[in-house]
Amino acid sequence: MQNFLWRNHSTLTEFVLLGFSSNAKINGILFSVFLFLYLITLLGNGLIITLIRMDSRLHTPMYFFLSVLSILDMGYVTSTVPQMLVHLVSEKKTISYTGCVAQICVAQMFVFLVLGVTESWLFAIMSIDRYVAICHPLRYKVIMSPWLCGMMVTFCGLWGVTSALVYTIFAMRLPYCGPNKINHFFCEVPAVLKLACADTSANDRVDFILGFNVILVPLSLILVIYINIFIAILKIRSAQGRLKAFSTCASHITVVTMFCVPAMVMYMKPGSKSSPEEDKKLALFYNVISAFLNPIIYSLRNKDVKRAFLKVTGWGRAPE
């Protein structure tokens, strides 16, 4: 398989990741900022996972999915940020051709796509959980059984692996004979495709079709579910009850918007219409920024998480 994928790629000896800037001072500042974001992302998501595991009151489907989201976010940023940090402070930003294609780029593409696609579908699963909790509260624990929750997460993972394989294989089957500069901070599919010395229109079609299945379909499912949720909420007579129901959905809607909209713009537009600088900003947003903000969004507006944190740390009295 490896010989099949790389047999026409013998003319390149190395790739260069251009990153964000060639200015050493700017790169030093960016290194500090991204290192801070990366560490806080790991800390925040790790804390969410720990709290959910330690507090029995958080052993519900909603928090099970939230813990899976935190695991995905930690893996998501780890697949790209450490390499980006190294290149920000390193004078040599080249990667040997064989190393990049056979090892680093393929592995990074595949892992990044697996986690991204899985997360996209996980958001749809989380919206189903909110629908059952709000529209069928008395049957919530029966419908959202541990077995069903596990099966839905497994489906997300399997679909992520399948989609990532298709994306990666179609990208790496092309001949890469120059230029060798990847105008990005990691080996993302759209950026790598710009280096192919062959027609990439078939890849654009594959990207659009897969983008439809892994982004538009879950987004459409989320939209339909939330329309039904809002209709059900409007039927609640108590204003306090309506506000509480809306508040349980606000965090999820926010993180879905931050992740899915930039990803959709990145992967569903033709390669000829993409801008390297815009692509880097979009990738930074749905890869780093969204993973950094997710635990903050879910914890600041969530009394259960605050209560669990105060209980575990013993810092003051938990909110009622």
Residue 273: CATH number of its domain: 1.20.1070.10
Place of tokens 């230029």: 179
Indicate if the pLDDT at residue 5 is higher than 70: no
Domains identified in the chain, total number: 1
In tens, the pLDDT along 14-58 reads 666 666 666 777 878 888 998 999 999 999 999 999 989 988 888
- Give the angle subtended at the CA of 80 by the CAs of 74 and 82, to the nearest 5°: 85
- 14: which DSSP letter? E
Residue 193 near residue 225, CB atoms below 8 Å: no
Q: Is 319 inside a domain boundary?
A: no
In tens, the pLDDT along 86-139 reads 878 776 655 554 544 445 667 777 888 899 899 999 999 999 999 998 888 889
pTM of the model: 0.83
* Structural domain containing residue 129: 2-313
Residue 93's pLDDT is: 58
- Give the angle subtended at the CA of 92 by the CAs of 86 and 97, to the nearest 5°: 95
Indicate if the pLDDT at residue 171 is higher than 70: yes
Residue 67's pLDDT is: 93
Residue 273's pLDDT is: 58
Q: Is 320 inside a domain boundary?
A: no
Q: Is 203 inside a domain boundary?
A: yes
